[in-house]
Structure 1
């Protein structure tokens, strides 16, 4: 029997976390009941909520880079400059058709529109593989306050595995989005390596930079009291690069490098948001910056976003690339097994950029 709204409001008498996490209803299950108050499990500490006094106007947001002429040296310099000074940028005129974006956004809504029973097949307890995982919040077992988000995480191994194990509601669209971004990812990585005087030539180097990929379908339901919670807490990604597709709702905020100011990342039709991950910060010995970012909850609309995380392979060892240190530059980071770094990240709640300290010398 579904709980009543009054029971949910008085969540001392009903286990919200069990309903959302263990039974697989997710935050969407709460939102679909039409709740008017926020369950206490989602009320974030004041310091973790967006302080509007520290948010600047959209006009001061991250760079937007036009990729219509890849061969122009100025484009490569703009990419590297953005990676050094901002850690985030948007790209336009990248050659990926708009219908690819619309298809994956529609597929995200379609998957999260399935019944809880159907979606539960992909939860940690029921999924046929660790490479396919339905989740909610970030790390519920480690969080003092939950985040207002559900997600489906798909680790890419092969088209064959995807055909067998990824949900049919979104499989083809997710694979298409990944394929269509391949060339853009490779060109971005080439530009970034050129800025470090590093050549991407052999298989080992390619593996280190982009040996594995994970695509997430993120769903942020309409929230009854968005000012009291977050969609995603403060963090930086563990990837080398993250390629993010936003819908037109908005809600992503980036911390400006070197200060406590937050910048909105306004949705731009046809654009992709690119950000540097911890792995590339480590590989570049701190030259390129992974930056804290967060997502606010929305009180008016359901929102979706689709990031592709481009990573080293789990068994790769990350540390400053040798060519970066050849000028005599001192290494800032030790060598770390990438899977150990990722395990450390997912073993705790979001905590800004504290994860990267795991690799500092």
Structure 2
């Protein structure tokens, strides 16, 4: 590696570390009045040329939808089997998690991201063992270019975090949402996904109640 390349890598590492040390994420840059995208977020021109072309705007959606309401169980199992065997993932609708609960979580997460820098700094960590962690780019120090995103991660199952571990903005709604989402996952895996794949859920998914 040339001296120039080494210096460039060292400078980038310093810029990444300086960004990470703020514990404020991308929103912190915006709040600070940044007027241009910093270099750590820019992809090298060669990498951009290698990206695949986006699909046409009028291309049909390719994500299968599995509706849990109304259809007989055998039909739902067949849809799950078909989606898992072709696309590999699918969207579940009419699943029983109340819309207002989902909306409440989204509103709480938005409050957190738009809230005080102090609350973000308290939650900021790259320790994967923490059940609740806020950070910007989980692969910040490995990727060729950082993504313009911040993430609040909450590990809600099988052992949810204690209420005091959750940021105040989501503390009132996240436990309830986690319980509802976990119940859906257990029911869906036990009654539909495992049947579609013809396997025993406890053997393949290590479910914990």
Smaller-chain TM-score range? 0.7 to 0.9
Deviation at 1:52, TM superposition (A): 7.3
Specify the alignment match of 2:24 in structure 1. 25
The residue aligned with 1:77 is 78
Looking at structure 1, the residues matched to 130 and 138 of structure 2 have their Cα atoms a distance apart, in angstroms, of: 16
Q: How many angstroms does 1:82 deviate by?
A: 0.7
- Rate the CA distance shift 1:112–1:187 in 2: closer, same or farther, 3 A: same
Residue segments in structure 2 that go unaligned for 5+ positions in a row: 1-10
- CA deviations 1:270-295 (Å, max 9, x no partner) are xxxxxxxxxxxxxxxxxxxxxxxxxx
Count of residue pairs brought into register by the alignment: 192
Q: Which residue of 2 is the match for residue 98 of structure 1?
A: 99
What do the CA deviations read for 1:220-242 (whole angstroms, capped 9, x no partner)?
A: xxxxxxxxxxxxxxxxxxxxxxx
- Higher Cα Rg: structure 1 or 2? 2
Change (3 A) 1:50 1:106: farther
Deviations 1:119-165, CA, capped at 9 Å, x for gaps = 1111228x8x7222221112222233111111122223645x42132
Report the equivalent of 2:4.
none
1:79/1:188 contact within 8 Å kept: no
Task: Give the TM-score, by structure 1 length.
Answer: 0.47
Question: What is the CA–CA distance in structure 1 between the aligned matches of 2:168 and 2:132, rounded to whole Å?
Answer: 12
The list of structure 1 runs, each at least 4 consecutive aligned residues, that deviate by more than 6 angstroms after superposition, is none
Instruction: Give 1:27 deviation, angstroms.
Output: 0.6
User: Which secondary structure state, in structure 1, belongs to the residue aligned with residue 169 of structure 2?
Assistant: coil
Distance 1:82 1:48 in 2: 31
> Which blocks of at least 5 consecutive residues in structure 1 are unaligned?
1-11, 213-361
TM-score (norm 2): 0.77
Residue 28 of structure 1, CA deviation: 0.7
Distance across 2 between alignment mates of 1:52 and 1:144:
17
1:149 aligns with 2:149: yes
Using the alignment, how far apart are the partners of 2:92 and 2:48 within structure 1? 29
SS at match of 2:179: helix
CA RMSD between the two structures: 2.9
- The answer to whether the Cα contact below 8 Å between 2:16 and 2:141 also exists between their aligned partners in 1 is no
Q: Which residue in 1 is equivalent to 2:39?
A: 40
Which structure carries more strand by proportion? 1
Partner SS, residue 65 of structure 1: strand
2:53 is paired with a residue whose SS is helix
1:1-361 correspondence to structure 2 within 5 Å:
16-46=15-45, 47=47, 53-56=53-56, 57-69=58-70, 71-124=72-125, 130-156=130-156, 158=159, 161-190=161-190, 191-200=192-201, 205=203, 208-211=205-208
CA distance, structure 2, for counterparts of residue 50 and residue 94 of structure 1: 39
- Mapped partners of 1:49, 1:69: distance in 2: 47
